[in-house]
Each structure stands twice: as C-alpha cells, then as structure tokens.
Amino acid sequence: MELVGIVLPIAIIVGIVIFVVKRLEQKHKQGKLGKKKSRGAQILLDSLIPLGMLVGCAIGLILSMFFSISLLSTISFGSGIGLLLGYFAYEIYGNREENYS
C-alpha cells in the first residue's frame, strides 16, 4: 500500500505530461498551433503553459505549508495540474479571435 502512495502521484503526473505533449505534437503536425497577429498576444499565448506550471508550483507550496502533505508531492501535483490548466488556457486563448475595435 505504501508503494501505491509513492507511485500513484508519479503515474498521474506522467499521464498529464504525455497527454499535453502528444496533443501539442498532433497540433504541430496539423499546423494548427495557436498563432496571434500581434507580438504581445503571441508572447502571452506562448507563455500560458509555463505560467500555469509556475502558478501550480506556488499553490502546491502554499498548500504544503497548511496541510501535512509532503512538499515534493504538492509541488509535483501543482506543476502537473498547472501544466494541464495552462494547456487548456492555451487552447482557449489560441482559438479566440482578436478584436481591434
């Protein structure tokens, strides 16, 4: 049972990473990666996934201070969930049309 507690978080994070990498690889092959017209919007789009990971790490760090969960586990879960949320933000913002009104 202790082995499951060690391996399960790793398996979940690896599953998230493989999902995101394969989806981005598939979009790259199809030529459907997010493109924005303005330079600032493109920089924001390209930064969403790393920013999601940083925010996830910070949230994991804060949670480990208040709960009796291992620091390593919360940081790894936070960065994995941040990667997934950053990818979803990338998809949503990448598909949104730019309005110059």
pLDDT tens digit at each of 101 positions of the chain: 778 877 888 888 999 999 999 999 999 899 888 888 888 888 888 899 999 999 999 999 999 899 888 888 888 889 999 999 999 999 998 887 766 54
Q: What is the DSSP letter of 38?
A: S
DSSP per-residue string spanning 40-83: HHHHHHHHHHHHHHHHHHHHHHHHHHHSS--HHHHHHHHHHHHH
Token duo for residue 5: 């507690």
Q: What's the pLDDT at 15?
A: 94
Q: What's the pLDDT at 94?
A: 83
* The model's pTM: 0.82
Distance between CA atoms of 81 and 66, rounded to whole angstroms? 19
Residue 34 phi/psi, 5-degree rounding, is -60, 130
Q: What's the pLDDT at 8?
A: 83
Rounded to 10 degrees, the C-alpha dihedral 92/93/95/101 comes to 130
Amino acid identity of residue 15, one-letter, is G
Query: If you compute the radius of gyration of the chain from its CA atoms, what whole number of angstroms results?
Result: 16
Query: Are 51 and 45 a contacting pair, CB within 8 Å?
Result: no
